[in-house]
């Protein structure tokens, strides 16, 4: 039996993974900015569920939430940083409040949760930190610049984290989903005010919506990840990301190689 702490668990991946864990007999602390959304889970699973009202941008509240989980269940085996949302807008269009809020939730929120659980996991001598990133953490498109910044940042500190905590018996995994039928691009999204100067570019880059994955289909996958003896540092969810990233990294390497002469000169004698 594993003890989970999942942020942003009211819907999407967080809700699916909470239910998957509970269905097999695990214990799960679920958090959201409103705890009423977990009434159905509590009615069905009783004391196996700990609903928590939490804003992940409040570092003190995050520390309190982690203590509440340990007080209730005695330990934390798996933490899932799932809370987050998408900010849509060209880089020039995003205002200061929107930019700060995006980074507060998507980047600093996971940082505060991770920092709060590490002392407990070190004391246990084990644990697994799951960071919900995205294909947008390794590949960028126009119109999502600050969202990409938050996910690229998450990937960066998590890569360092994995090396730092391995000796304590703590595993770290970045889950990088493709497009799924969640609320990410719907009610949960924030849109910057559009500048007319980008209207032509927006029209040119418009594409028909592709097929969206079923979030429920990720249940078995996340259980395989958390149960693995040696879980991956990175794993894509969905069939689309791997060929896209292979092509993207091939382009990057080709460009670095093409400019390598200048790179060498830049170092000096």
Catalytic residues: 133, 147, 151
Report the first-to-last Cα separation within the chain, whole angstroms: 60
Which region holds residue 93: left if phi is over 0, alpha if psi is between -120 and 50, else beta?
A: alpha
Short-list 19, 132, 129, CA closest to 85: 132
- For residue 167 the two structure tokens come to 């000796």
Please identify which residue in the block is written with the tokens 């610049």: 145
- For residue 197 the two structure tokens come to 């100067």
CA distances from 86 to 136, 184, 191 (A): 10, 6, 8
Give the 3-state secondary structure of residue 213: strand
């Amino acid at each position: 039996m594993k003890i989970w702490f999942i942020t942003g668990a009211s819907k999407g991946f967080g809700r699916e993974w909470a239910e998957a864990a509970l269905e097999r007999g695990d214990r799960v602390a679920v958090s959201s900015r409103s705890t009423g959304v977990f009434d159905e889970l509590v009615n069905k699973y009783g004391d196996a569920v700990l609903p928590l009202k939490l804003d992940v941008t409040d570092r003190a509240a995050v520390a309190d939430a982690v203590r509440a989980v340990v007080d209730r269940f005695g330990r934390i085996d798996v933490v899932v940083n799932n809370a987050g949302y998408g900010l849509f807008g060209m880089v020039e269009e995003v205002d200061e409040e929107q930019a700060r809020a995006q980074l507060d939730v998507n980047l600093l929120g996971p940082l505060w949760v991770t920092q709060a659980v590490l002392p407990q996991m070190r004391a246990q001598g084990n644990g697994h930190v799951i960071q919900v990133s995205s294909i947008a953490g390794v590949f960028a498109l126009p119109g999502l610049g600050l969202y990409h910044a938050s996910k690229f940042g998450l990937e960066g500190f998590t890569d360092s984290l994995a090396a730092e905590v391995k000796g304590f018996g703590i595993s770290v995994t970045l889950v990088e989903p493709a497009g799924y039928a969640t609320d990410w691009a719907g009610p949960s999204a924030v849109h910057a005010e559009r500048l007319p100067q980008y209207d032509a570019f927006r029209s040119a880059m418009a594409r028909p919506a592709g097929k969206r994955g079923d979030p429920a289909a990720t249940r078995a996958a996340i259980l395989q990840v958390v149960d693995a003896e040696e879980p991956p540092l990175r794993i894509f969810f969905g069939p689309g990301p791997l060929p896209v990233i292979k092509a993207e990294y091939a382009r990057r390497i080709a460009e670095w190689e093409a400019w390598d002469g200048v790179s060498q000169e830049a170092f000096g004698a």
